[in-house]
Amino acid sequence: MTGSKLQSVRGMHDILPNETPLWQAVEAVLYQGLESYGYQQIRLPIVEKTELFKRSIGEVTDIVEKEMYTFTDRNGESLTLRPEGTAGCVRACIEHGLLRGANLRLWYQGPMFRHERPQKGRYRQFHQLGVETYGQPGPDIDAELILLNRYWWRALGIADKLELQINSLGTLEERRAYREELVAYFSTFEHALDDDSRRRLHTNPLRILDSKNPDMQALIEGAPKLIDYLGESSRAHFQGFVNQLDAVGVSYTFNPRLVRGLDYYCLTVFEWVTRELGAQGTVCAGGRYDTLVEQLGGKPTPASGFALGLERLMALLGDSPLARSNPPHLYMIRVGASAEKAGLIWAEKLRERLPGLRLQVHSGRGSFKSQFKKADKSGAMYALILGEEEAARQQVAVKPLREEGEQRTLDFDRLLDFLHSEFYSK
Ligand code: ATP
Ligand code: MG
């Protein structure tokens, strides 16, 4: 019986072997940066109670209103595939008492799920690397997050492709006052609002500022600016943040309309934006969220973090040399029963003696000619060749595949020396 072909869920993608070399190389750079700045990894479940996201992200946000993958499990409990990582991270830190006298710098990475309309740069399962810090109220940690980002962009060779946009959302009270002004302003133009914005006018008017509808831009341009409603201490925080960026030569654009899609942000917010990915141009975004820990039942704890969208980052790096895969160093060819056995033993010994050596052993039988074809196709630097004769003499022939050069026959110790000088001493 033949079955019909199954496909992956819409908006959820496989990351194929020709893509994983880029992912791995980029991840190595990201991890190195995190280590260099003193961040520790935390690993979190992918599923959380639905309640957690409702209480943290906010009931009237896009995510909670229409993007969550929510289901009832066999015990009748409402669970949700995480749409983002911050809520789960805060939940875990409270649950395990990590926040007492905290000065935490954490990171995590993994899939997130949002039921959005799939398009380039927007998927239903996507991956984020998230960074969260707890216990530090000052703007210096906000600036440190930006520096970590810049360190990454430089190491990846994309610093010139990303622009930093910053804003301050002030405190909850300041936003409340501003919100009234904003509603008053947009209400006088209610006829000109699109459907989404009209709906948001009384639920989440700040989100109107975030509208991507070109017809709305002139109206948004003329709206009152949140920054003008900030009190002294919020202004000082923002100024402190900006001063630190200036001190280390980070350039930025002040964007008074940057509000972010989640309710829990306050004070500093930022986005790294590129022009190279069309409408889905935000690669990395974050900010401060000083009230969330308390909102989720913990002691008041200042917090600041960001999430980096890995698919968008990879899309920016598509033509980078990092995208190249690592072909094997060696491809082993064996012909004849005794050569097969000797080769197997050699291969195991080589892998043991030379960690990091990439040695692919031909599988299945075949003539020298057909095995050579496979060796060539593998991209390996050298073929290791064993016939009955070599096996009998406990030797192996080494033939360069990528450049002209003579074939030589070596015993095991000479082969080790050769591989050392070829692959380990450069
Ligand atoms: P957007 O405005 O693009 O919808 P967002 O404000 O919803 O983004 P965040 O929740 O701040 O995004 O997530 C941080 C980052 O994660 C984004 O800047 C983006 O790089 C990535 N991201 C968010 N949603 C998706 C998605 N559906 N597909 C791919 N990447 C995403
Ligand atoms: Mg979104």
Tell me the mean pLDDT per 10 residues along the chain, length 426.
88 95 96 98 98 90 91 97 97 96 93 96 97 97 98 97 96 91 92 89 88 88 92 97 98 92 87 93 96 95 98 92 89 96 96 96 94 96 96 96 92 95 85
Ligand 1: nearest atom to the Cα of 312? 20
Distance CA 16, CA 425 (A): 32
Query: Would you state the structure tokens that stand for residue 256, as one six-digit string?
Result: 């008074």
> Do residues 237 and 304 lie in contact, with contact meaning Cβ atoms separated by under 8 Å?
no
pLDDT of residue 327: 92
Q: What is the DSSP letter of 8?
A: P
Q: Long-range contact list for 416-421, CB < 8 A, 24+ apart?
A: 416/350, 416/353, 416/354, 419/329, 419/330, 419/350, 419/354, 419/357, 420/354
- Give residue 306's pLDDT: 98
Ligand 2 center to residue 28 CA distance, Å? Answer: 27
**Ligand 1 nearest atom to the CA of residue 114, by list position:** 27
* Ligand 2 geometric centre to CA of 398 (Å): 55
Residue nearest to atom 16 of ligand 1 (CA): 309
pLDDT tens digits along 363-373: 998 999 999 99
What is the spatial distance between Cα 124 and Cα 204, in angstroms, rounded to a whole number?
A: 24
Give me 8's structure tokens. 């992956």
Kindly give the distance from the C-alpha atom of residue 316 to the centroid of ligand 2, in angstroms, as a whole number.
19
Instruction: Give the whole-angstrom CA distance, residue 196 versus residue 184.
Output: 17
Nearest to 113 by CA among 83, 142, 137: 83
Which atom number of ligand 1 is nearest to the Cα of residue 308?
Answer: 15
* Cα(317)–Cα(324) distance, integer angstroms: 11
Predicted pLDDT of residue 1: 61
Q: How far is the CA of 322 from the centre of ligand 2 (A)?
A: 28
Atom of ligand 1 nearest to the CA of 123: 28
Distance of CA 1 to CAs 5, 6, 7, 8, 49, Å? Answer: 13, 15, 19, 22, 41
Q: Which one of the ligands is nearest to 127 CA?
A: 1
Q: Given ligand 1 and candidates 123, 128, 169, which is best to mutate, with the most ligand atoms within 8 Å of its CB?
A: 128
pLDDT at 61: 83
State the distance from the centre of ligand 1 to the C-alpha of 380, rounded, in angstroms: 39
Nearest CA to ligand 1 atom 15: 309
Pocket test for ligand 1, best of 120, 164, 280 (most atoms within 8 A of CB): 280
Q: Which helix (H) or strand (E) holds 308?
A: strand 303-309
Counting from 1 in the atom list of ligand 1, the atom nearest the Cα of 62 is: 7
Q: Single out the residue of 329, 361, 346 nearest to residue 426, CA to CA.
A: 329
pTM over 0.85: yes
